Structure 1
Amino acid sequence: MECHHFAAGRCRSCNWLEQPLADQVAAKEHGVRELLAPWPDVAWLAPVRSRESGFRNKAKMVVSGSIEQPVLGILDGEGHGVDLRDCPLYPAELAAAFGPLTEFVTRAALAPYELAARRGELKYLLVTLSPDGELMVRWVLRSTEPLARIQKHLPWLREQLPQLRVASVNIQPEHKAILEGEREIVLTEAQTLRMELDGVGLHLRPQSFFQTNTEIATALYRQARAWVAEVAPTSLWDLYCGVGGFALHCAAPGRAVHGVELSAEAARSAATTAAELGLDVTFEAGDATAWAIAQPTAPELVVVNPPRRGIGPELAGWLERSDARAVLYSSCNAVTLARDLAAMPTLRPERAVLLDMFPHTGHYEVLTLLRRT
């Protein structure tokens, strides 16, 4: 992939860009296999490769510059704005929204926030694209002061972007480089963006997490569904479930499915999808580890999709002692995956596949099926 920002040294986020994509994937898989070498019987599927460009469904843009000349992108080492509206990672449908959104900053007089000077209002612009081409736009502000102006000019923006479905304001008052705050004000009738993956329309609320590569996320859930079907459990938990991707893709008649997610917004999103699809799948907000270890019994299969720190010794130990006969582990960090596997010696990894969720970087997703020996 060619990128003039990378070539000019303006943006080095894609720090593996100089390697051919095939070499990137091979290096990632080699690294993961090395970490999982203590389990030599793992059957590895061929890695799932991403497109080189246009794969991101979400833009996280720092807003800098001025009201008259806003800059959407990142800040360089000296704190100056770098315009990344033409970043090749964004699909055309997403990139086309940046022009009207830039003009909206001027129309609504949204002063870009200056971290060093502690002045201004608009910190970030977060834009998500659904597979159907609809958009969710979020303005991250220091306070509610610009809210009335955003509401006033929102009809103009909807004329320019008829695909805009959800618009919201997030309030992040701290003078820190924190992406978002706790308070969210939705400005549209629609509360969720529908992410259609393999016939499952996952509802995404403004503060819900979703994988940034839609095609690879689809492949991830498709593989999970296939492996779960082989195990054929009558009961399943989806821990760290997010918006319910694994739980909802793996639901089946006669199978009791329950998801637990720390984010209340994400749990509500998952429940909305389950109700829309008529699935008997339940969700609740809570700490996945604390919830699981408080249960008297385990289901037949447990899906875990933790953050980079992994599931940790407490949950790994509980799973090892439980009567669950299988675990499906989706990991973005094979270092912690290997550590957690070592803590569950009777749950042996049987199959694994690497998915190139984040091309041009050292990051990835790896899905592993564990069976009780």
Structure 2
Amino acid sequence: MNLSVKQKIPLKIKRLGINGEGIGFYKKTLVFVPGALQGENIFCQITNVKRNFAEAKLLKINKKSKFRVQPACSVYEACGGCQLMHLRYDKQLSYKEDIIRQSLKKFKPEGYENYKIRPTIGMTEPTHYRAKLQFQVGSFSGSIKAGLYAANSHRLIAIEDCLVQDKTTQQVMNTITDLLAKYRLPIYKEGRAHGIRTVMIRKSQATKQLQLIFITSKSLDFTDLIHDLLETYPEIRTVALNINADKTSQIYGEKTVILWGEDTIEEEVLDYGFSLSPRAFYQLNPQQTQVLYSEVVKAMAVTGEEDLLDAYCGVGTIGLAFAGKVKSVRGMDIIPEAIADAKANAASLGLTNAHYEVGKAEELIPRWYKKGYRATALVVDPPRTGLDSKLLAAILRFPPSKMVYVSCNASTLARDLVKLAAVYQVKYIQSVDMFPHTARTEAVVKLVRKSKNFKS
């Protein structure tokens, strides 16, 4: 390694990495520089040296990219919640296709050079799209603020006007911080004080209903605060409390209780409605979720004869899109409230062919298969860690004739395709921009089984 910490070097940026950082080579050493763009000549300072690469901070841009724009957010560089706001939006979409290509090239699933990667579907107005806010709460010299931790730190950046957050949820959060101060509710501080740690606010795009969770390290009385909130925001339908006393990075504790209001709020996607409990997962960008799920429906191309398996089903939103068009749907999720919602949602739609269970996909699916169940179609929408190895083994042992993989992480998608490509042909990958101005992208992958020479 020919670099040292604090060393200042010139660098030509060759491409963007999977986290949105600029990548260049200094005397054959790979250097990652957040904030730098492809094609730029920069001056940077080394901040970290590893065995095979180095990290640096951007000091000066000597030759600027013609696609560089001024971020509209005042805390963009400090916050770290977005990584690409300095890149023109149409080029962000191109970047997200490139991230998929980079990941495929790294893991090299069979035939990856010929995979059809469709242009990323973006947003007409890529701002204020996040319908779910999840801010940490902190005390700053006696005043209470809420926001996000700076990248790779526990330093809270106060945010009062987030450019990608739904405006109403941001307004409610600002009101909550004022009320926390008004009623002198205690604020959590690592290792020193118990109190409120995080606030989650979710808004339904269809009904405009609001749902809140206060995450605290101990039980607190929110009666007066809730009263004031409801006077200002009558659209609030649920206020819940989750207690997490553990000293971990996990946001939620195990139990969530309703302090006020209804158990769920109502949302819609495609041509049906459904209910959401406070802890249940649903996509953060409702507008693009319509696009994403439409692409899933197109990729699955059901005939009406399918027994569909919906792994990582959440409240059932993807599977419910098919339930009236296939023979049966089965789904599972590890969050009991989500499965309760899925069952209620199926019942409210009058569906009798949908079955949901609480549990891990990698455990339930092999158990179902041992009892004789066989899926002919499969949709998976795993977390960023990708498919569990046990689930992958179960899929490969009894591969449904067609499969749609919905991915929020290009790297784990490419890793999983290494094994899946031995059994399935990748028809295409459709990228959907669910998170404008960030380095994250979502992808819908259409897979068709290559041969019928498998166990059934």
Q: TM-score if structure 2 supplies the norm length?
A: 0.75
**Residue 103 of structure 2 is aligned to residue 35 of structure 1:** yes
Match of 1:327 in 2: 403
- CA separation of 1:163 and 1:67: change in aligned 2, threshold 3 A: farther
- Secondary structure at the aligned position of 1:175 is classed as coil
Match of 1:90 in 2: 165
Contact 1:100 1:161 in 2 (8 A): no
Between structure 1 and structure 2, the one with the greater Rg is 2
**Residue 241 of structure 2 is aligned to residue 241 of structure 1:** no
- CA separation of 1:63 and 1:349: change in aligned 2, threshold 3 A: same
Contact 1:235 1:256 in 2 (8 A): yes
Match of 1:64 in 2: 138
Per mean C-alpha deviation after superposition, the further-off stretch among 220-229 and 121-130 is: 220-229
What is the distance in 1 between the residues matched to 2:331 and 2:153? Answer: 44
**Residue 89 of structure 2 is aligned to residue 13 of structure 1:** no
What is the distance in 2 between the residues matched to 1:13 and 1:66? Answer: 20
What is the distance in 1 between the residues matched to 2:113 and 2:161? Answer: 44
Shift of 1:313: 3.4
What is the distance in 2 between the residues matched to 1:171 and 1:279? Answer: 35
Superposed CA deviations along residues 220-270 of structure 1, whole A, max 9, x for unmatched, are: 111112232345442101011111121011222452011111111111111
Contact 1:320 1:347 in 2 (8 A): no
**Residue 79 of structure 2 is aligned to residue 23 of structure 1:** no
Match of 1:125 in 2: 199
- Secondary structure at the aligned position of 1:271 is classed as helix
Superposed CA deviations along residues 330-361 of structure 1, whole A, max 9, x for unmatched, are: 11122222222221312111122001112222
Match of 1:358 in 2: 435
Match of 2:122 in 1: 49
Contact 2:329 2:355 in 1 (8 A): yes
**Residue 360 of structure 2 is aligned to residue 287 of structure 1:** yes
- CA separation of 1:360 and 1:323: change in aligned 2, threshold 3 A: closer
Per mean C-alpha deviation after superposition, the further-off stretch among 43-52 and 134-143 is: 43-52
- Secondary structure at the aligned position of 1:236 is classed as strand
Q: TM-score if structure 1 supplies the norm length?
A: 0.91
Contact 2:242 2:256 in 1 (8 A): yes
Per mean C-alpha deviation after superposition, the further-off stretch among 11-20 and 285-294 is: 11-20
Superposed CA deviations along residues 3-61 of structure 1, whole A, max 9, x for unmatched, are: 1112xx43222122211121122111022134346334544333211342101111111
Contact 2:118 2:429 in 1 (8 A): yes
- Secondary structure at the aligned position of 2:279 is classed as coil
Contact 1:309 1:336 in 2 (8 A): yes
Match of 2:12 in 1: none
Contact 1:168 1:188 in 2 (8 A): yes
Per mean C-alpha deviation after superposition, the further-off stretch among 156-165 and 342-351 is: 342-351
Match of 1:102 in 2: 177
Contact 2:426 2:445 in 1 (8 A): yes
What letter is aligned with 1:111? P
Match of 2:284 in 1: 212
Shift of 1:79: 5.6
Higher RCO (CA < 8 A, seq sep 6+)? 1
Contact 1:67 1:109 in 2 (8 A): no
Per mean C-alpha deviation after superposition, the further-off stretch among 34-43 and 308-317 is: 34-43
What is the distance in 2 between the residues matched to 1:255 and 1:300? Answer: 10
Equivalent position to 1:343, from 412, 419, 432: 419
- Secondary structure at the aligned position of 2:78 is classed as coil
What letter is aligned with 1:13? G
Contact 1:67 1:112 in 2 (8 A): no
What is the distance in 2 between the residues matched to 1:267 and 1:362? Answer: 31
**Residue 447 of structure 2 is aligned to residue 370 of structure 1:** yes
The structure with more strand, counted as a fraction of residues: 2
- Secondary structure at the aligned position of 1:45 is classed as strand
Percent of aligned positions that are identical: 25
What is the distance in 1 between the residues matched to 2:394 and 2:376? Answer: 14
What is the distance in 2 between the residues matched to 1:165 and 1:182? Answer: 22
What is the distance in 2 between the residues matched to 1:272 and 1:206? Answer: 15
- Secondary structure at the aligned position of 1:10 is classed as helix
Match of 1:299 in 2: 375
Unaligned stretches of 5+ in structure 1?
none
What is the distance in 1 between the residues matched to 2:166 and 2:409? Answer: 27
| 1:193-272 correspondence runs (5 A) | 193-230=265-302, 232-272=304-344
Contact 1:240 1:260 in 2 (8 A): yes
Shift of 1:208: 1.3
What letter is aligned with 2:137? V
Contact 1:67 1:106 in 2 (8 A): no
Shift of 1:204: 1.4
